[in-house]
Amino acid sequence: MRATLLLTLALLLLPPALLAAAEAPYPFDDPYQATVFGTPADMRYAFKAPVRPEVRAIRIEDRRVPQVFSYSRDMFFSTALQDGPAPLLFLIAGTGAEHNSAKMIFLTQVFHEAGYHVAALSSPTHMNFVAAASDSRVPGFVPNDVADLNRVMGWVREELAKECSITGYAVAGYSLGGLHAAFLAERDKRTGEFGFSHVVMINPPVSLIRSVTRLDSWLTGRNLGRMTVHERIQDYLDRFSDYYLNADVTDLDDDFLFRMIKEIGLEKQDFKALIGAAFRISSASMIFTSDVCLRAGYLVPPDDYPLRTDDPLLPYAQQAFNISFNHYLDEYLLPYLQYQNPQTTREEVVRLSSLEAIRPFLENEEKVRMVGNRDDVILDDGDVAFLAEVLGARARFFDHGGHCGNLMYPAFVQALFEAVRP
């Protein structure tokens, strides 16, 4: 009798205990660590039947792509289609990210599991998009980038409609892609091309310029102290090398990288510098690509053309790495926009690259949702307050996760499912 009682008791207690184990809290309270480490592999959401996205390409006829980027002649994107009729969700990547980066494949699987056909597109700031798809080939001005995305989405829809039955449209994106998603929806309200039923911003910035200025500030003396960014990077390299030399390790997997960064004793300012440097590397790629496509003479002197596959590019990389986004804005993007339209002002460019520009739309559209983190490192307090105020209950904030750190964590994925539920 007593044994039965105990057994019953144990069984009653078991499910909550198991649930507690499955719901282990997201492990990083520090937003910078969360941003760098992401979600550990064993804590990620497990898909019921993970799909493998298929890579496809669009080729714009007669488009001139510089020989040095011949491998980037076609614009690549990936798809994961349902067997039967379903709505099509366009997924937009974050700054410098490709359609099939780790985060993008994960999100493609999320929305596919939620019942959508998914078409995943690279960010308009990714070199492939700049070289093969962008109309202006000068990325970073949100209205232009959104027009480019919209055009590409039209081609994708036309192509996919031949293969599957599309019952509606939705759009989502993470980071800068989230901001693009909102602008695409706002544009669509005016043009009525797609009629999106759901719009999801995942960890979006509020103002592109404000967020990238934050990232850039982590590579300046205020964060790095007396060392220059180059000395600091050299210092990290030396410390990583030293750790590897003495570690008993056989594979360089995620687990090793995690242990190394943990054990090397990096501080908050170091995490900031690493995030800033990663961003700088992707912006350097973007700036160089644009300059070469336009032959604008910003990084590459006119005499160096034609640039070919066998030309060394390191000298340009070195220069490009030194360019902060604000420099890019003042020295290249703004002059380009003024070349197109002399009336353009800096204030206008900054304003039109911020969600503040479409505030009434965001306030009134029930279909616009946001899933993000209160401690997102690309947002300041004012940005968080803006999103909470404008979207109200349609903004779902997690306390911890930094910038996209908890993107693969089960509770975050559940919030995404809820955001696209019909």
Partner 1 sequence: MTRKLLSLFMLAVLAVGCAPKVVDVTAPGTGADPEGFKAPLHRWPEDDSPALRFLSVRDPWEPVNRELYEINATLDKYVMYPAANVYRAFVPAPVRTGVSNALNNLGEVPVFLNCLLQLKMKKAAITFARFLINSTFGVAGVCDLASNNPKLARRQEDVGQTLGVWGFDSGPYFVMPVLGPSNLRDTAGFGGDTLLMYLEMGYIYQTLGFQDNSPLDMTELIVRGLDMRANTAFFYHSTGSPFEYEMVRFIYTKKRELDIGR
Q: Which of residues 48-67 bind partner 1 (CB under 8 A)?
A: 54-64
33 versus 136: smaller Cβ distance to partner 1: 136
260 touches partner 1 (CB under 8 A): no
Per the CB < 8 A criterion, the answer to whether 156 and 115 are in contact is no
CA separation, residue 355 to residues 95, 209, 358, 386 (Å): 16, 11, 5, 9
* Binding residue (CB under 8 A) for partner 1 from 195, 230, 345, 359: 230
Query: Considering only CA atoms, which of 72, 70, 74, 71 is closest in space to residue 60?
Result: 74
Per the CB < 8 A criterion, the answer to whether 204 and 179 are in contact is yes
33 versus 100: smaller Cβ distance to partner 1: 100
x/- map, 139-178, partner 1, by CB under 8 A: ------------x---x---x-------------------
* Binding residue (CB under 8 A) for partner 1 from 23, 339, 345, 422: 339
> Rounded distance, CA 38 to CA 25, Å?
13
CB neighbour class for 366 (10 Å; exposed up to 12, middle 13-18, buried from 19):
exposed
245 touches partner 1 (CB under 8 A): yes
Minimum distance of partner 1 from residue 55's CB (angstroms) = 4
Per the CB < 8 A criterion, the answer to whether 362 and 346 are in contact is no
By CB under 8 A, the count of residues binding partner 1 is: 79
Phi and psi at residue 207, to the nearest 5°: -120, 120
Minimum distance of partner 1 from residue 415's CB (angstroms) = 28
34 versus 131: smaller Cβ distance to partner 1: 131
Q: Which of the stretches 104-112, 167-175, 233-241, 395-403 binds partner 1 when contact is defined by CB under 8 A?
A: 233-241
Region 263-302 residues binding partner 1, contact defined as CB under 8 A: 281-282, 284-285, 288-289, 291-301
CB neighbour class for 199 (10 Å; exposed up to 12, middle 13-18, buried from 19):
buried
Region 95-124 residues binding partner 1, contact defined as CB under 8 A: 96-98, 100-101, 122
